């Protein structure tokens, strides 16, 4: 199912733009991974792994109400992209954040 890609807030969008414009190799590689993930999610909004509702972090529920679902897209190099899928007639994927492995473990309490 095709989806339009949006960012959850301006901070997430600005962070992505900063990564894309960076001259650091690591930043550009991460931006390329994110772009590939955005293309995959745009082609199929449900290509990630759905996070069980009871495991959705409280911070997401507070920042982005009413979040009803959460999806995880595994990037290489242990990065995770978190997004939610919604609809206003068309399918919309809202990018919440991307985390390294340590940040992901902390966010989800592992």
> For the domain that residue 9 is a member of, what is the CATH number?
3.30.2310
What is the pLDDT of the chain when averaged over all its residues?
95
- Order of strands, sheet of 4-7, starting from the edge strand that comes earlier in the sequence: 4-7, 91-99, 80-87, 70-74, 49-51
Q: Are 12 and 97 in contact (CB under 8 A)?
A: yes
Identify the domain containing residue 55 by its residue range: 4-108
The pTM score is: 0.94
Count of the separate structural domains present in the chain: 1
> Which pLDDT value is given to residue 65?
87
Residue with more model confidence, 1 or 9: 9
């Amino acid at each position: 199912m095709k989806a339009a890609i949006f960012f959850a807030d301006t901070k997430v969008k600005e962070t992505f733009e900063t990564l894309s414009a960076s001259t650091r190799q690591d930043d550009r590689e991460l931006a390329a991974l994110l772009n590939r993930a955005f293309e995959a999610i745009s082609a199929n909004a449900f290509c990630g792994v759905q996070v069980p509702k009871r495991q959705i972090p409280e911070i997401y529920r507070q920042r982005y109400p009413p979040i009803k679902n959460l999806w995880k897209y595994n990037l290489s190099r242990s990065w995770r992209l978190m997004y939610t899928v919604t609809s206003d007639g068309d399918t919309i994927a809202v990018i919440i954040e991307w985390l390294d492995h340590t940040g992901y473990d902390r966010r989800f309490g592992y």
